[in-house]
Amino acid sequence: MLDYALLSALAAVVRTGSFERAAEHLNVTPSAVSQRIKLLEERIGAVLVVRGQPCTATDAGQRLCQHVEQVALLESSLRRTLPGLQPESRPVTLRIAVNADSLATWFIPAMAQTTGFLFDLVIDDQDHSAEWLRRGEVLAAVTSHGKPIQGCDSYSLGNLRYLATASPAFVERWLPDGLSEHSAAHAPCLVFNRKDQLQALWLRRAFGADVVPPVHWLPSSQAFVDAALSGLGWGMNLEAMVQKHIRSGRLVALEPSDPLEVSLFWQQSRIVGPLLGDLTRAVVETARTMLSPMPT
């Protein structure tokens, strides 16, 4: 029989990243949290927490944390339907993986339509966010992978549209004769992080070859726009975030100006699917309102 007081201590350490913050969350001392983790590890017969800054879960610890989250969701559902049960002391926390550009544009309005939950968002590239779901570290994910992950349901959301944009001053300095394979190899480019392949995909589509430009690394959707406006570099900016700047002439779309589209899907654990019904409806409806439709 699992001891949920011990499991709650494990989940708090993993969620907050430290024994001290977990103690504050549980209203106990750090020593009490440490004793609970030690006792749980002795009972399970495995190390569950990698001590560090921050503390992280081992594979076994992550599986137990996922179990705790699922049980908390089930208990929350029961309390809503059985008024005789004691009200929960705090809302259930949902851990979800989402890409930064979705968070910057449409995902927060979807969150705002859902009550009764707290959110713990993991930010990762849409091509990699599904891995968090495969590992059981999140309950749901916004991802570019449409094929359902084992044990999950998948819902189509729509397309994020990106335009290669730069300031007129940048174009005048770096691309005075237009964009070519030679000029693209010398004009500074904006890249979100090492997982971001949008600029490389656009260049490959434009020239039919791999072009390697000098790179500014900027892990922020808004910083991408600000850097393009300042003339720091060119990058694949979200159409929704740069339309007004293109209309005002502060940014220009580089040729070929056809948008690069990224299809997004919502995947959620099937075990807790019915309990996330309101959130899933909000995510799907908001995305289909704010994103470009997928081709039929």
pLDDT over threshold 90, residue 246 = yes
CA 118 remoteness from chain centre: 15
Is pLDDT above 90 for 117? no
Confidence grade of residue 84 (pLDDT, cut at 50, 70, 90): low
Q: Which CATH number does 160-261 carry?
A: 3.40.190.10
pLDDT at 282 > cutoff 60: yes
Question: CA-to-CA distance for 6 and 12, rounded, in angstroms?
Answer: 10
* C-beta of residue 184 within 8 angstroms of C-beta of residue 207: yes
Helices (H) and strands (E) in the chain, counts: 13, 11
Give the domain ranges of the chain.
160-261
Over residues 155-201, the pLDDT tens digits come to: 999 999 999 999 999 999 999 999 999 999 999 999 999 999 999 99
Q: Is there a contact between 219 and 192 (Cβ–Cβ < 8 Å)?
A: yes
Q: What percent of the chain has pLDDT over 70?
A: 94
- Predicted local distance difference test score (pLDDT) of residue 87: 57
Task: Report the C-alpha gap between 173 and 168 in whole angstroms.
Answer: 9
Q: For position 235, what pLDDT does the model report?
A: 97
Q: Where does the pLDDT of residue 295 fall: very low under 50, low under 70, confident under 90, or very high at 90 and above?
A: confident
**The pair of three-digit structure tokens given for residue 162, joined into one six-digit string:** 């990106």
If pLDDT is split at 50, 70 and 90, which confidence band does 135 have? confident
Q: Find where tokens 């979100």 sit.
A: 192
CA angle, 270 then 273 then 276, to 5°: 150
Highest mean pLDDT among 61-75, 99-113, 126-140: 99-113
Smallest CA-to-CA distance from 90 within 1, 11, 2, 6 is with 11
- Picking from 101-110, 167-176, 255-264, which range would have the lowest pLDDT averaged per residue? 255-264
pLDDT above 90: residue 68: no
Mean pLDDT of 22-31: 92
Contacts of 207 (CB under 8 A, 6+ apart): 181, 184
pLDDT for position 86: 62
Nearest to 265 by CA among 284, 278, 279: 284
Query: For residue 175, what pLDDT is reported?
Result: 96
Average pLDDT over residues 239-265: 95
Computed over every residue of the chain, the mean pLDDT equals 91
Q: Which of 184, 153, 191 is nearest to 255 (CA)?
A: 184
CB neighbour list of residue 32: distance below 8 Å, 6 or more residues apart: 9, 23, 26
What confidence tier does 31 reach under pLDDT thresholds 50, 70, 90? very high
Pairing of strands 92-98, 49-50: unpaired
Is the pLDDT higher at 74 or at 178?
178
Q: pTM of the entire structure?
A: 0.82
β pairing state of 260-269 and 117-123: unpaired
CB 30 within 8 A of CB 23: yes
Q: Return the bridge partners of 140, or none.
A: 96, 268
